[in-house]
Amino acid sequence: MSSLQSLDIALRSATTTPSPEARHQPEVAKLIDVSSCIGCKACQVACMQWNDLRDDIGDNNGTYDNPRNLTPQSWTVMRFSEVQREDSTLEWLIRKDGCMHCADPGCLKSCPAPGAIVKYSNGIVDFISEHCIGCGNCVMGCPFDVPRISKQDNKAYKCSLCSDRVTVGLEPACVKACPTGAIRFGTKEDMHEFAAERLVDLKERGYQNAGVYDPQGVGGTHVMYVLQHADRPEIYHGLPADPHISPLVWLWKGVAKPLAVAAMVGAVFVSFFHYLKVGPLEAKDGLADDERGDGTAHDPAARRTT
Amino acid sequence: MSEYRVTDRGGPAPRMIVRYTDRTRLNHWFVALMFFGAGLTGLAIFHPFFYPLVNLFGGGVWTRILHPFFGVVMALGFFGLFLAMWRDNAIDANDRAWLREMPKLVRGNEEAMPPVGKNNAGQKLVFWTAAVGLLVLLVTGFIFWSPWFAPVFPVVAKRIAVVLHAFAATILILAIIIHIYASIWVKGSTAAMTRGTVPEGWARLHHPLWWRQMTGK
- Please check whether residue B52 lies inside any domain of the structure: yes
Contact A174, A161 (CB under 8 A): no
* Amino acid A283: pLDDT: 76
Least CB–CB distance from A140: residue in B63, B107, B158: B158
Domain that holds residue B22: 16-215
* Amino acid B155: pLDDT: 97
A255-264 residue pLDDT tens: 999 999 999 9
Contact A292, B199 (CB under 8 A): yes
Burial, A225: exposed, middle or buried (Cβ in 10 Å; 0-12, 13-18, 19+)? buried
B108-155 residue pLDDT tens: 999 999 999 999 999 999 999 999 999 999 999 999 999 999 999 999
Number of domains in chain B: 1
In the predicted model, is pLDDT for residue A293 greater than 50? no
At A294, the pLDDT band (50, 70, 90 cuts) reads very low
At A20, the pLDDT band (50, 70, 90 cuts) reads confident
Model confidence, pTM: 0.90
C-beta neighbour count of B20 within 10 angstroms: 20
- Alpha-carbon distance values, B83 to A126, B44, B88, B129, B207 (Å): 49, 31, 10, 15, 22
A100-155 residue pLDDT tens: 999 999 999 999 999 999 999 999 999 999 999 999 999 999 999 999 999 999 99
In the predicted model, is pLDDT for residue B94 greater than 70? yes
C-beta neighbour count of A299 within 10 angstroms: 15
Considering only CB atoms, which chain B residues are within 8 Å of A300?
110-111, 115, 204-205, 208
User: Which of the 8 DSSP states describes residue A102?
Assistant: B
Interface test mutation site (partner B, options A157, A270, A294, A305, max chain B beta carbons within 10 A)? A294
Residues 6 or more apart from B52 whose CB is under 8 A from it? Answer: B44
- Please check whether residue B8 lies inside any domain of the structure: no
- Please check whether residue B5 lies inside any domain of the structure: no
* Amino acid A299: pLDDT: 45
C-beta neighbour count of B97 within 10 angstroms: 12
Q: Residue ranges per domain, chain A?
A: 6-245
Domain A6-245 has CATH 3.30.70.20: yes
CATH (domain of B188):
1.20.950.20
* Amino acid B213: pLDDT: 93
CB spacing of A301 vs B185 below 8 angstroms: no
Q: In whole numbers, what is the pLDDT of chain A averaged over residues?
A: 91
- Please check whether residue B72 lies inside any domain of the structure: yes
Contact B187, B97 (CB under 8 A): no
- Please check whether residue B84 lies inside any domain of the structure: yes
A183-211 residue pLDDT tens: 999 999 999 999 999 999 999 999 999 99
- Please check whether residue B100 lies inside any domain of the structure: yes
* Amino acid A298: pLDDT: 45
Query: Is B67 tagged catalytic?
Result: no
- Please check whether residue B160 lies inside any domain of the structure: yes
